[in-house]
Amino acid sequence: MQRKSQVFTTLFLILLSPCFSGCSSSSPVATPASPPYQGATLTIACPTEEIATLVSQYGQGWASRNGVTVTTRRYDPARGPETVADASLWVVPPAEMPRWADAGQLAPLPDRLTSKDDSYRWAMLFPLYTGQLLVWDAKPTALPLLGDAPLCLYRKDLFENPEHQAAFKERYRHPLQPPATWQDWSEIAAYFHEHRQKGKAIPSLPPLPKEDDELDRLFFSVAAPLARRAIRQDQTARADQQNDLFSFHFDWSTGASRIAHPGFVHALTLLQQMQKFRPAQSEADSWRAFQEDRAVLCLADARRLYSLQQNDSEKQGNRAPRGKSQVHDRVGVCNVPGSRLFYDYQSDQAVPSDLGANRVPYRAATGWLGVVPRCSKEPEAAFALMEQLSGPDLGRQIAIEPRWGGGLFRSTLLDERWESFQLDNKQTLALRTAFQRLYQGTQNPAVRLRTPSQQVFREVLLREVRSALLDGKDAAQALQAVDARWRDLIKERTPARHLRDYRLSLGRLP
């Protein structure tokens, strides 16, 4: 029995030997695959400290998982991201992207990002992005990092005051309420200029902004609903409305300048009339006048709500310290106003809006895109980081964070509740409604000029606009001077090249 047992044991061990040999140290052991970008170093060229913070904060998780080192470096926006040596990724404004794309300096997006089956969900981006802002010459070239979210802000505590309600209605024969049109805005500014402080006229609007970007947004926000007929999302544009859809700075058909047309002149005239409700001197960061209780109305991006809602418990004298707000919980939100009338494209005649307010938002005046230069040493890793930052999950986290201000670029975000902005229930609903109307209300928003040579056109315009507002230059004469210089610039570029650029800037092939 003992001998049989030994034999059986020997046979059993022989049969198991293949199993044991598979676990021996001499056998190959499967190892996890290395992350595809392991060891890569990405330098991100950022235009502001705020953007550098965003990229560092939200990109760190992806970088750690993939073994990538991510560093940010600031660049001077006046000189451009090219000044950051060895940058693998540039963060740039939407209006600037075509300058580098047209020069062949940007790498096109990988096909996987625009595929219908890709997890990035390209098709869920707003058409303004997939059709215009991310594309040049029909080639997707950029990914969004932050969208724009322009709003009108007003002092809800003053608007709800019974004395102001009664006095305003007696004067203007309609209730004091958030401005639906720029004509309403002007009436409200005039009223509070005279009635906010008894016996003394004080500014009711923020000072004229020193920054060109802010002045550009102010002028064109007023001009857009005057110079273009709104076509709602639920309307079908007729064949004869193509110019209404596309013409704004220039004529869609010919490329000719439109800047001296009646809608733009009317807008500049309105701004001149409002200038007496502002302080005499321009200021940088003029929106802070609203934060410091020096204005009743304000145009601002939604991200400013983060600062405006800071608790005011640390007031110093009559002003809050920088970063603290004197209007905490007293901020109302609504859409940027439209106009009671617009100027018909064919006749140049003023036409009353049959919608009550002709709402044409001015888009892409703010926001940021990520682009990969062709000289990037790590293009695939750079695209992968941007894919993460603007993808459905992390892109949502960034958008709903008040510090970044609801910079939407995906349609799925329109269903968000926006409670993170810490407004009261009524204003939270107003913010959600404003976003829905902004992003879905109009087929043909006016878009900031984004041709490769847009900067020189803009400099000519803003110089004359600023002169008209601060020095009293006649509005029509100022814009006629702009028109003459724009025509010269078109000739220098050649009319055919200029028309091509303008159509490409609108997402249309020449």
DSSP letters for 54-116: HHHHHHHHHHHHHT-EEEEEE--TTT-GGGSTT-SEEEE-TTTHHHHHHTT-BPPPPHHHH-T
Q: What is the average pLDDT score of the chain?
A: 90
Q: Is residue 5 part of a domain?
A: no
Q: What is the pLDDT of residues 219-263, one digit of tens each?
A: 999 999 999 999 988 887 777 777 778 899 999 999 999 999 999
Q: Is residue 24 part of a domain?
A: no
Q: What is the CATH number of the domain that holds 396?
A: 3.40.190.10
* Count of domains observed in the chain: 2
Q: Which of 434, 428, 368 is nearest to 402 (CA)?
A: 428
Q: Is residue 154 part of a domain?
A: yes
Q: Which residues, in sequence order, are CB contacts of 327 under 8 Å at separation 6+?
A: 155, 290, 291, 293, 308, 312
- Give the whole-number percent of the chain exceeding pLDDT 70: 91
How far apart CA 200 and CA 163 sit, in angstroms, is: 17
Helix (H, G, I), strand (E, B) or coil at 151: strand
Q: How confident is the model at residue 339 (pLDDT cuts 50, 70, 90)?
A: very high
Looking at the fold, whether 182 and 289 belong to one and the same domain comes out as yes
Looking at the fold, whether 233 and 92 belong to one and the same domain comes out as no
Helix (H) / strand (E) element for 502: namely helix 495-505
Looking at the fold, whether 247 and 126 belong to one and the same domain comes out as no
pLDDT of 321 strictly over 60: no
Could you list the beta-strand ranges (E) of 347-396.
350-352, 362-363, 368-371
Helix (H, G, I), strand (E, B) or coil at 152: strand
How far apart CA 13 and CA 5 sit, in angstroms, is: 12
Looking at the fold, whether 297 and 169 belong to one and the same domain comes out as yes
pLDDT of 15 strictly over 70: no
Q: Which domain holds residue 117?
A: 41-149+366-416
Q: Is residue 23 part of a domain?
A: no
pLDDT of residue 324: 77
Mean local confidence (pLDDT), 418-445: 94
Q: Is residue 139 part of a domain?
A: yes
Q: Is residue 27 part of a domain?
A: no
pLDDT of 26 strictly over 70: no
pLDDT of residue 243: 79
- Give the whole-number percent of the chain exceeding pLDDT 90: 81
Whether 324 and 314 have beta carbons less than 8 Å apart is answered as yes
Q: What is the pLDDT of residues 360-376, one digit of tens each?
A: 999 999 999 999 999 99
Mean local confidence (pLDDT), 270-291: 96
Looking at the fold, whether 251 and 400 belong to one and the same domain comes out as no
Looking at the fold, whether 263 and 124 belong to one and the same domain comes out as no
Looking at the fold, whether 373 and 352 belong to one and the same domain comes out as no
Q: How confident is the model at residue 314 (pLDDT cuts 50, 70, 90)?
A: very low
How far apart CA 81 and CA 45 sit, in angstroms, is: 6
pLDDT of residue 192: 97
Looking at the fold, whether 213 and 297 belong to one and the same domain comes out as yes
Q: Is residue 423 part of a domain?
A: no
Q: Is residue 99 part of a domain?
A: yes
Looking at the fold, whether 460 and 332 belong to one and the same domain comes out as yes
Looking at the fold, whether 318 and 371 belong to one and the same domain comes out as no
Looking at the fold, whether 113 and 186 belong to one and the same domain comes out as no
Tell how strand 41-46 and strand 89-92 pair up.
parallel
pLDDT of residue 34: 65
pLDDT of residue 323: 55
